[in-house]
Amino acid sequence: TIFTTRADTVFGVTFMVLAPESEWVEKLTTPEQKEAVEAYLAMAKKKTERERMMEARKVTGVFSGSYATNPLTGDKVPVWISEYVLAGYGTGAIMAVPAHDSRDYAFAKTFDLPIIPLIEGCDVSESSFDAKEGVMWNSGFLNGLTVKEAIPAAIDYVEKHGIGHRKVNYRLRDAIFSRQRYWGEPFPM
C-alpha cells in the first residue's frame, strides 16, 4: 500500500521507494541484495529524521531486488529503499514519479531510472516539471484532460476498480512555532 497526493500521476511511476524503517524492507529484499540492503540500513539508522529531511539533496538508496506492479499500466517497477522517504509520512512507501517530483527526479537521475513526462509539452531534460497545470498525455484514459480534471477522474477510477481509496491525512509541523525566539502561540497538542 502506498500513499499519494496525486493519483493522476500513476501512469508516470517508474519505481517505488520504501523508508528504511518500513516493515516491507525485510520482506522484499532478495537474497542477492541482502548484504547491500543491510549495509544501507546501518548507515541510515545513524541519522535522525530531521537530519534525513535536511540532507534531502544528497541522494542515497539501494535496490531491494524486488519489483511491484503498476496497477494502471501493468508494468513492473523496481522497489528501492531510500532515506528520503520517511516512515511516518503516509505508509512509508511512495510511488515515484520522477517527471513531476523534484526528489524523485534527483533519485532517478542518480540511479539512471526512466522518467516519463505526463503533461503535454513539459521539458524534463534538466529538472522535474512540478506545476499542477497542463493537459495530460502518456496517461491512458486521462489523456486530453487537464490536470484539474484528471485528479478527481483518477481517484474515481481507482476507487471504482478497487485499487485504492480516498483518505485525508493531516500532518502538524512546528516550523512556524519553532521560529519564534522569545514568544510563541499556544501549541495545540
Per-residue pLDDT tens over the stretch 134-179: 999 999 999 999 999 999 999 999 999 999 988 877 766 655 555 5
- CA dihedral sign, ordered 138, 139, 144, 150: negative
> Residue 163: CA atoms inside 13 Å, Cβ hemisphere, count?
18
- How far apart CA 2 and CA 4 sit, in angstroms, is 7
- How far apart CA 7 and CA 95 sit, in angstroms, is 10
Q: Stretch 107-132: mean pLDDT, rounded? A: 94
Q: Stretch 119-127: mean pLDDT, rounded? A: 94
Torsion angle of C-alpha atoms 77, 52, 38, 23, degrees rounded to 10: -60
> What rounded mean pLDDT belongs to the chain?
88
| pTM of the shown model | 0.83
Q: Which three cell numbers stand for residue 71?
A: 496497477
Give the best-scoring range by mean pLDDT among 3-12, 44-53, 140-149.
Answer: 140-149
Q: Tell me the Cα Rg of the chain.
A: 18
Residue type, 119: I
Q: Which residues pair with 77 in a beta bridge?
A: 68
Q: Stretch 18-34: mean pLDDT, rounded? A: 96
Q: Say if residue 101's pLDDT is above 90.
A: yes
DSSP-derived secondary structure letter, 33: G
- CA dihedral sign, ordered 27, 28, 29, 30: positive
SS3 160: helix
Q: Which three cell numbers stand for residue 15?
A: 519505481
User: What is the pLDDT at residue 49?
Assistant: 74
User: What is the pLDDT at residue 127?
Assistant: 95
Q: Say if residue 73's pLDDT is above 80.
A: yes
Q: Say if residue 96's pLDDT is above 60.
A: yes
